[in-house]
Structure formats: C-alpha cells, structure tokens
C-alpha cells in the first residue's frame, strides 16, 4: 500500500495541474502553453482557444489591445486624448463606449456584470431598449451569424471572376521598407459584369464623392446624399443584410428596420473632423475609399476600390504579408502598396466579396465589439475584425461614428 502513495500523489498533482490549465486564474498574459487545455495570452481571442474565464479574469484588467505588425496603426484613433469627458464619472455621451481601465466607472455592455457602471448608467443608457448584461452578444453568437452572412453572400465573385497575381510575400518586419517587390499588378483579371449588380453599382457611385486629403471639408450635394440613401436601400434588399438585421433585432438592438437603417447612415456616413476642425471624414470614406493624412494612406480596405485605382494607374501593388486560407471568395489579403505617391504599410482587405458582405460584417463588429477585436467564423475558418469608434464627437445620445474597421489576423 505504501508503494502506491507516490503514484497516487503524482496522479493528484497531475489532475490539479490539468485543472489549473483549464482556467486563467493567475495565468493572464502568460505565454502560449502548448500542453494547456486552453490559453490566456493576448492572441487566444483570435485563435478561439481561450479558457472560459479569460474574458472575465483577464480583459477587465487589460488596456485595449495595441496594434501588432499585421494590424494597422490608425494614428488618428490612437491620438485621441485619454479623457474626452468633462465628467468621467458620468455616462453622458459614453453609452456603448469600449472598456477603458483608466475610467473610474464604465458604460459598456458588460459593466452591470462586473458592477462597475457609472451611477447614471441606467437613466442615460438603459432607455435604448435592451439590458446590457442580459443581451450582451456572445462570441458563439457572433460566429453563428457571421457564418449565416457568409452563406448568404450570393453576390460575391466566383472563382472564374477574378485572377489574382499576389507575387512576393514578405515578413511583417519588412513592411516599412517601401520597396516594390511585385513588378506586375495585383489583379490580372476581374469580370466587370459584377459591377452592374445593384449593390456594386450603388457602392461604386459613392467612391468619387470624397476628397482623400484630411483637413479639407466634405460637402455633399443633393445627388450625393441621394446616392448614400440608394446604397443603403440596395444593400437592405439583400439576404446578407436581412440576416444581420434579423439577428440584431433578435438581440433587442433595434426595434424596426427604419431605426436600423437610420443608425447605419449616421455611423457610416455622418461627418466628423480628423483635422483642422473641418468635417472632413466619415467611416465610409475612411474604410472603403481611403484617406491621406500626414503623408500616409489610412483606411482603404476595399478590393473594388483597389482594382479600379490600379486599373487607372493610381495604385502600385508592392507586396503582401498575409493571404487568407480560403480557396474561394471572399478571401483576405494584407498588402503593401503606393497610392498615387503615398505609401500604405499594411492594408487588409476582403477580396471578391460583395459590398453588402463587408458592410454587414464591419457593422456587426462595430455594434457588438466597438474598439475591440471581434471574433467571427467564415466557412469554418476563424477571422477577426478590429473596429474603433471616433471618440471626439458623437451623434444621437452619444453614439459614436465609425473611425475605422478592418480585418486582423496573426499566427503564433
């Protein structure tokens, strides 16, 4: 019997260690552990292998994730002052804001769960029609709805519609070199019949409505405003956006399609100032059309825009650092390029997706995970999207405009 004691102790210790590796208790920010049943490092949300208590134990203690080499350094977002509010102990103009450890109290979807809401949270934010703690959108729900949106994208390009010539792949450390390693264009062929589809045509009509230099105010005439409404009208006819609206209504985020469309118009097309106190930017301009600030390209995350500018000789494709795992469209490419004299160090974009597909996924992530990495699933493959709200101005009870949205990815 005595000979069995060491064996029993070893077994018990092993079980205890295994139990430890199923929790993030005392493991937040540790390095990737190959033998662990689940992980607690910064990258586990992107790989979908976090322990169940990761978000509860680790994320409330962390700063918002910093950009990594694959991610973009959206400088205009990061330059925002730490304290934008005259009354940081209040939820005035802060409903839906991302968690910020430097704030004395919070106004986000999970503050009731952690007991750190500001005192006026219910009175200022509660009337929006849903309980934050009860109706917070889970990772599993995000993955489920993103798969439905993926399957619903019937307007996407087929394999024969696009021929890519991705050429040289470089390491993230080489992106600052500004060296053209690809002598040929990225797009060898695109079936432009795609562009006659209603959502494509409505999308393309918007791209020439903007001045790309920040600091120069945008002024829309009646036709341009009508084009915004036409785009929203066309995308809302698609199965992709019907899936998104149905999901968000089920989550009690919107009570009617009219309310949903109105909010989309504000968050995407509402103007704000990135420089010189001019209303010179919007989420749509930044993400889909692209901007120039301080001599650099910012935003510009759309394959249609890239193709059209490359066709006109205004975009010179340099290289790429990431090519998604998909063997059909939509795919994802993270690339470097020169846009009419200005360099883009890392620009991720879906390739071959319909306009409504990108619009839906970015909107979903901005609504569900503003300022955070948003974990999705497309065709069984994990994909993450990062969004940031524009914190210097707001609309409609403190709601934030979209500052940027883009695909992120990395490998351990």
Q: Which SS3 state, helix, strand or coil, does residue 264 take?
A: helix
Under a CB-based contact definition with an 8 Å cutoff, are residues 351 and 332 in contact? yes
Closest to 269 (Cα-Cα) out of 364, 390, 385: 390
Contacts of 190 (CB under 8 A, 6+ apart): 157, 161, 162, 163, 307
Angle between helices 222-235 and 198-206 (to 10 degrees): 150
122 CB burial (10 A radius; 0-12, 13-18, 19+): middle
338 CB burial (10 A radius; 0-12, 13-18, 19+): middle
What is the set of active-site residues?
A: 286, 301, 344
Angle at CA of residue 32, ends 30 and 36, nearest 5°: 100
For 175-188, the DSSP string reads: GGG------S-SEE
pLDDT per residue rounded down to tens, the chain (412 residues): 445 555 544 444 444 444 446 787 777 877 777 777 888 877 777 666 788 777 777 764 333 333 343 455 444 443 333 332 235 678 876 777 777 777 888 887 777 766 678 877 776 776 544 344 445 899 999 999 999 999 999 999 999 999 999 999 999 889 989 999 999 999 999 999 999 999 999 999 999 999 888 888 888 899 999 999 999 999 999 999 999 999 999 999 999 999 999 999 999 999 999 877 788 899 999 999 999 998 999 999 999 999 999 999 999 999 999 999 998 999 999 999 999 999 999 899 999 999 999 999 999 999 999 988 899 999 999 999 999 999 888 898 789 999 999 998 643 3
pLDDT of residue 81: 32
pLDDT of residue 47: 66
Contacts of 109 (CB under 8 A, 6+ apart): 96, 132, 133, 136, 137
pLDDT of residue 121: 77
Query: Residues 65, 69, 70, 71: is their CA dihedral positive or negative?
Result: positive
The whole-angstrom separation of Cα 296 and Cα 227 is: 28
Angle at CA of residue 109, ends 59 and 400, nearest 5°: 100
| Number of CB atoms found within 10 A of residue 270's CB | 21
The whole-angstrom separation of Cα 203 and Cα 235 is: 9
Structural tokens at position 173: 């450390």
DSSP H or E stretch at residue 402: strand 399-408
Phi, psi dihedral angles at 157 (to 5 degrees): -70, 145
Q: What pTM value is reported for the model?
A: 0.72
pLDDT of residue 76: 42
The whole-angstrom separation of Cα 18 and Cα 37 is: 8
94-114 exposure pattern, b = at least 16 Cβ within 10 A, e = fewer? bbbbbbbeebebbbbbbbbee
Contacts of 23 (CB under 8 A, 6+ apart): 51, 52, 53, 57
pLDDT of residue 88: 67
Under a CB-based contact definition with an 8 Å cutoff, are residues 12 and 19 in contact? no
Residues paired with 189 in a beta bridge: 163
Structural tokens at position 147: 């798969």
Cα distances from 170 to residues 144, 165, 180, 281, 334, in angstroms, run 33, 15, 11, 32, 11
pLDDT of residue 198: 98
pLDDT of residue 113: 61
Closest to 319 (Cα-Cα) out of 167, 206, 214, 149: 167
Q: Which SS3 state, helix, strand or coil, does residue 401 take?
A: strand
For 146-179, the DSSP string reads: HHHHHHH-TTSPPGGGEEE----B--GGGGGG--
């Amino acid at each position: 019997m005595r000979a069995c004691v060491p064996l029993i102790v070893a077994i018990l210790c092993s079980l205890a260690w295994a139990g430890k590796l199923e929790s993030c208790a005392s493991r937040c920010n540790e390095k990737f552990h190959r033998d662990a049943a689940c992980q607690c490092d910064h990258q586990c949300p992107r790989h979908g292998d976090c322990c169940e208590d990761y978000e509860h134990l680790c994320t409330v203690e962390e700063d918002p994730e910093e950009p990594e080499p694959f991610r973009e350094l959206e400088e205009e977002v990061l330059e925002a002052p730490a304290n934008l509010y005259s009354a940081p102990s209040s939820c005035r103009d802060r409903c839906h804001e991302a968690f910020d450890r430097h704030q004395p109290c919070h106004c986000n979807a999970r503050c009731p769960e952690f007991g750190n809401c500001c005192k006026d949270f219910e009175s200022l934010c509660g009337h929006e029609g849903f309980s934050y703690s009860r109706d917070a959108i889970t990772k599993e729900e995000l993955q489920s709805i993103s798969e439905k949106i993926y399957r619903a994208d019937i307007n996407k390009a087929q394999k024969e519609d696009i021929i890519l010539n991705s050429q040289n792949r470089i390491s993230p450390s080489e992106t600052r070199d500004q060296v053209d390693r690809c002598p040929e264009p990225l797009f060898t062929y695109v079936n432009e019949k795609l562009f006659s589809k209603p959502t494509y045509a409505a999308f393309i009509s918007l791209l020439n409505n903007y001045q790309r230099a920040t600091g120069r105010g945008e002024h829309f005439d009646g036709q341009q405003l009508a084009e915004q409404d036409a785009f929203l009208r066309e995308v809302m006819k698609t199965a992709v956006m019907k899936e998104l609206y149905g999901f968000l209504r089920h989550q009690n985020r919107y009570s009617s399609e009219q309310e949903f469309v109105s909010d989309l118009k504000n968050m995407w097309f509402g103007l704000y100032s990135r420089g010189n106190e001019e209303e010179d930017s919007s989420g749509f301009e930044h993400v889909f059309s692209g901007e120039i600030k301080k001599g650099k390209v910012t935003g510009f995350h759309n394959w249609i825009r890239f193709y059209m500018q490359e066709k006109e000789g205004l975009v010179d494709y340099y290289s790429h650092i990431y090519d998604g795992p998909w063997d059909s469209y939509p795919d994802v490419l993270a690339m470097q390029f020169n846009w009419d004299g200005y360099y883009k160090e890392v620009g991720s974009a879906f390739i071959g997706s319909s306009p409504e597909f990108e619009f839906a996924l970015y909107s979903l992530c901005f609504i569900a995970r503003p300022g955070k990495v948003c974990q999705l699933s497309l065709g069984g493959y994990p994909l993450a999207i990062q969004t940031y709200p524009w914190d210097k101005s707001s609309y409609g009870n403190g709601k934030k405009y979209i500052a940027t949205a883009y695909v992120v990815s990395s490998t351990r």
